[in-house]
Amino acid sequence: MRSWKAVGGRPLFLQRGQAAEVVDADGRAYLDFLGSWGALILGHAPPRVSAAIGERAKAGTSFGAPTAGEVELARVLVDALPSVEQVRLVNSGTEATMSALRLARAVTGREAILKFAGCYHGHVDALLVRAGSGALTLGVPDSPGVPPSVTALTRTAEFNDVAGVRDFLRAHGGELGAVIVEPVAGNMGVVAPAPGFLETLREETTRAGCLLVFDEVITGFRVGWSGAQGRYGVTPDLTCLGKVIGGGLPLAAFGGRRDVMEQLAPTGAVYQAGTLSGNPLAVAAGLATLDAVGQTPGAYDRLEQLGARAEELLGQAIAAARIRACVSRVGSMLTLFFGVDEVHDYADVRHADTAAFARFFHGMLEAGVYLPPSQFEAMFVSLAHTEADIDRLGRAARAVLAGR
């Protein structure tokens, strides 16, 4: 995505950011709805986070030993997320999902896993099967270099197919160590879970004796303080986190039930390690970010309102232009899909008009609005955005679509 292969043209090299604005290497400013792919819930360079990073850096950047900050952050995560009783910090969402699945396989003694078409869980070999994100954007959902023997243990099902996944789990659930899902799909564009979908996953994985893993790398602290599991009231066995919890620095985590997490070394036999895991700078940024969000009155109500306003204005722009398109939104993450009336699953988003999106992307860029350079990604609203910023997004979209 960073190369803009999906939309064409030369990618921007960004030099700095402040609040809801970014500035490229040529000095041009843009209203930003990328937000470092959703990580920057406070916007760019929030003073509190920058100060925390600076103060921590003065005392050392890495030790390869425990620090008090790791424990403080772990407490925040455990308190916020219903599923998490213990947590392990890692460096990236890819590490989080890879480690969670290793743990699930060890705990259950089963090797196969189930994922959903269009969901992306990082560039783990076993998960690059019918993947979303860059794989979907570039039209190569299965990557060269991944041996068939690795993906042979990966089963796939259709996102939001309640009846289909129930039937599959009742027939084959005994073979599975885990079912992994984005509770709100964000890597094929935003697709909300259908009524009963997450509940069915919870019921049927429990029945089958396999673990339910929520990939909340995007949705964690984004769609609510307690993530998608809190928003929808469905508690998984393991949760993977990233983006927001690092405050713009490389940090991720996975956590879950105590009896499961205690199978990790050193209390258990399942190996996982990383030199920079729990890096003091990233932990400081994450703590400052979560503390700021937690102390902002009505933070998630505001994000919901700004997201709803963006959805409304984009919908009005679509109607005024009389084009076939739709806006799919959950909280402060949303996608404008071209060429389709609604999206429920991978098959729907595959019909999206990527050429139309590319034209829209470049038109918006000329209007000074920076969007994710892919039809199959989410726009993100931050607490740094104002009502005026959202109105500007709507005006630009209306003008670009009118002159398409």
Report the distance separating Cα 303 and Cα 264, nearest Å: 36
Q: Kindly state the tokens that stand for 378.
A: 């989410």
Catalytic residue among 161, 215, 345, 348: 215
**Any bridge partners for residue 240, and if so which?**
215, 254
Q: How many residues can be counted in the chain?
A: 404
Report the distance separating Cα 95 and Cα 100, nearest Å: 8
Q: Which helix (H) or strand (E) holds 69?
A: helix 68-80
Instruction: Give burial (CB, 10 Å; 0-12/13-18/19+) of 41.
Output: buried
Catalytic residue among 30, 115, 120, 370: 120
Catalytic residue among 232, 243, 300, 345: 243
Q: What distances in angstroms separate CA 169 from CA 8, 26, 214, 313, one per listed residue?
A: 41, 54, 17, 41
Pairing relation of β-strands 21-24 and 29-32? antiparallel
Please answer whether residues 179 and 114 qualify as being in contact, where contact means their C-beta atoms are separated by less than 8 angstroms. Answer: yes
The stretches of 21-67 forming alpha helices (DSSP H) are 35-38, 47-58
Other Cβ atoms closer than 10 A to 174: 14
Question: For the residues of 85-152, what is the DSSP string, one character each?
Answer: SEEEEESSHHHHHHHHHHHHHHHHT--EEEEETT----S-GGG-SS--HHHHHTT-SS-TT--HHHHT
Nearest Cα neighbor of 343 from 147, 127, 172, 192 is 192
**Catalytic: 215?**
yes
Other Cβ atoms closer than 10 A to 9: 12
Report the distance separating Cα 24 and Cα 301, nearest Å: 31
Residues with active-site annotation: 120, 215, 243
